[in-house]
Amino acid sequence: MNIKQIRKWLVSGFLALVATSTATAQTFVFTAIPDEDETRLVERFRGIADYLSEQLEVDVRYIPVKSYAAAITAFRNNQVQLAWFGGLSGVQARALVPGSEALAQGVEDQAFYNYFIAHKSTGLDRADELPEGIRGKTFTFGSKGSTSGRLIPEYHIRERFNEAPETVFSRVGFSGNHTRTLRLVESGTYDVGALNYKVWEKELEDGNINTNDVKIIWKTPGFPNYQWTIRGDVDDRFGEGFKEKVREALLNLDDPALLESFPREGFIPASNDDYEPIRSVASELGIID
């Protein structure tokens, strides 16, 4: 090997080392839709960041966002590479980032459901179908971009009454998240609302619901909901096979405290096709094109 060849070999080796060092030094960032109290979310996802950092052997950071739209924007702009989305926000985000993929969903997310709840002053009781008696009452959704806080409740309201929510109810609001929906109905600020069953059951388990003031009046049929979605270009940035490493880490997550914080029994494989029913309903309601 002559001097020229040696220099070429040394330079190529050095550049490869720099590229490897740069890749390993990059931070893998993720976010989540703000569907609950922010303090609870930060505690949950900081634990997930620590877990992923250990499993993936890269620096992992969770960044909170203030809205569903902000989570989608951060994903689109590559400010985050992974996100815990609801069914609708996941569909919207993947449409904006070609090659992005739903990796994993909670066991319970295969057939998620909502509770419609009512304040005691309404006199409404639990029924097998959405009660006619909600007509003329005040109603709050969760976030405008939420699957279980807006999309699914609006779908069932329209199916039941063949009218828009604004004509069914005397006043319609958007609380911003499921926990706040519960509090607004419990306090009587709104007569009726809809929230995801996981938030209701967790709050009930923790003793945070006054069941004398608020009750479940209807349970929706099941629908696909939350999932982890990853950008399609992560292998280019973090190395070949990185996406599969993330998938395996999520599917293998078995820490009881972390799972309880969601709460989920565990995570199972998901695909973009699983969320076609959500895309179809959102398109039917004119929420997406």
Structure tokens at 120: 């005691």
Q: How far apart are CA 180 and CA 221, in angstroms?
A: 23
pLDDT tens string 214-250 = 999 999 999 999 999 999 999 999 999 999 999 999 9
pLDDT tens string 242-266 = 999 999 999 999 999 999 998 999 9
| pLDDT for res 2 | 54
Structure tokens at 14: 């050095």
* Domains in the chain with CATH codes: 3-110+224-284 (3.40.190.10), 113-219 (3.40.190.10)
Over 90: is that where the pLDDT of 94 sits? yes
Task: Please tell me whether residue 214 adopts helix, strand or coil conformation.
Answer: strand
**pTM (2 d.p.):** 0.81
Over 70: is that where the pLDDT of 10 sits? no
| pLDDT for res 11 | 41
**pLDDT band at residue 3 under the 50/70/90 scheme:** low
Q: How far apart are CA 31 and CA 14, in angstroms?
A: 35
